[in-house]
Amino acid sequence: MCLAIPGKIVSITGQLDETFRQGKVSFGGIMKDVNLCMVPDASVGDYVLVHVGVAIGTVDEEEANQTFEYLRQIGDLDELQAEGGTQQETKI
């Protein structure tokens, strides 16, 4: 099954070249570098769905928080921490 995890964009780099547009995304406080080339209109503060390190779409904050909470309840977020993300904040 393919799974996309919602996260909040906290910073964007490489904005001049959409192909290599990258950003820092917070997943419940765990920070990851994410490729943003598939969401060219996304900006800091937006919520994106991320699959294997690539943002594949945007969602609103309510949907992102609800989905993230479901994933937390079933224990599917443990591997985010195992992959070495940097923890900074407590809410997406």
Residues of the chain with pLDDT under 70: 1-2, 15-18, 77, 79-92
Q: How far, in whole angstroms, is CA 73 from its chain's centroid?
A: 18
pLDDT of residue 47: 97
Q: Where do the H-state alpha helices sit in 1-92?
A: 61-73, 78-82
Domain-wise residue ranges, the chain: 5-84
pLDDT of residue 90: 42
Q: What single letter denotes the amino acid at residue 87? A: Q
Structure tokens at 5: 């995890």
CB-based burial of residue 92 (10 Å sphere; 0-12 exposed, 13-18 middle, 19+ buried)? Answer: buried
**Domain 5-84 falls under CATH 2.30.30.140:** yes
Check: pTM over 0.85? Answer yes or no. no
> Rounded to an integer, what distance in angstroms lies between the CA atom of residue 35 and that of residue 1?
21
